[in-house]
Amino acid sequence: MSKTPIVCLCAQYDLRQYFGSGFDAYSDFELVTPDQPEAPDQVRFAVAFKPGPDAFDPFPNLELICSVGAGVDGLLRHPKLPKQAHLVRMINPEQAQMMAGFAAWHVIGHHRRMDDYSAFQKKRTWGDAVRPTFPSDYPVAVIGFGKMGLAVARSLREMGYPVTSWASRSRTEDGFDVKSGKAGLEEVLSNAHAVVGVLPLTQSTEGFFNAQTFALMRSGSLLVQIGRGGHLIEDDLLAALDAGQPGCAALDVFQTEPLPPESPLWDHTAVFVTPHIASDSTGAALARAVAGSIRAHVSGQVLEGAVDRNRGY
């Protein structure tokens, strides 16, 4: 039986290396580079991450494109994204758990003022114990309430933090009262000691974290930005941090990645920089998701992680 080819479309590197040996368990599929298929017009499936400007041209009959990541803004903005193809984003509960753990680590560190103890250690002094507050006295706002946002909110709630949330659509989900609109955003941000950003990147959310947004936040609060780099106006954040509102920021995503060496974010004492590592996946998990999506598509089942092009996620 011949294997079904899945073409890898990425301008940066060979996606087969990203999947590693993950597809070894699937004898009916084969990852191929764009130059390998003898009949490109017969290729129906693709995996993609930041495809080049002409990446889709040789494959006019793609039916399903699987994003290697949870974000799909780069694909949706591609001028030649095939109109007939279904698009699915990566859905992996373990990725969501990693994202939730990353956010919780920063929230707990800020709440318990762990930086103070690091300073005590550097001075070789026992230091005065920082008077604790209970998690119940430390509200957290989760901005964006998709799969990742829900995982973050659940994790923090389990540890006793009051969690408020905001999204493009107001609703009640899993016991969370999700606010929306300008008034809802002001209500959520003004009460929060920590704000976790996990929005999708769309036209309406680009530049979301800007001077106006920061003006709604509490003085001394924490921003944890783990959504997309396009959400943040970095110059506005720097000015807001210098004014103490918010008081500090943990940034994992940036407008330009890798973050340029000349960026002032590197040296700002109130900024914690990580290189887009809040959440990732294994080759085996990626292969499982792609194979599952293809099989669901072929059998006419509902596609988990299907992207609504009109909504942008």
Helix axes 114-122, 93-111, angle to 10 degrees: 60
> Rounded to whole angstroms, what are the CA distances from 24 to 31, 33, 220?
10, 17, 50
Active-site entry in 228, 231, 297, 311 = 228
Measured distance CA(297)–CA(304) in Å, rounded: 10
Q: In what order do the strands lie in the sheet with 45-48?
A: 29-32, 4-9, 45-48, 64-67, 86-88
Q: Is 228 a catalytic residue?
A: yes
| 297 flagged as catalytic | no
Contact 224, 246 (CB under 8 A): no
Select which of 276, 288, 297, 311 is catalytic.
276
Q: Alpha-carbon Rg of the chain, whole angstroms?
A: 21
Question: Interhelix angle for 147-158 vs 93-111, to 10°?
Answer: 50
Helix (H) or strand (E) holding 8: strand 4-9
Active site members: 228, 276
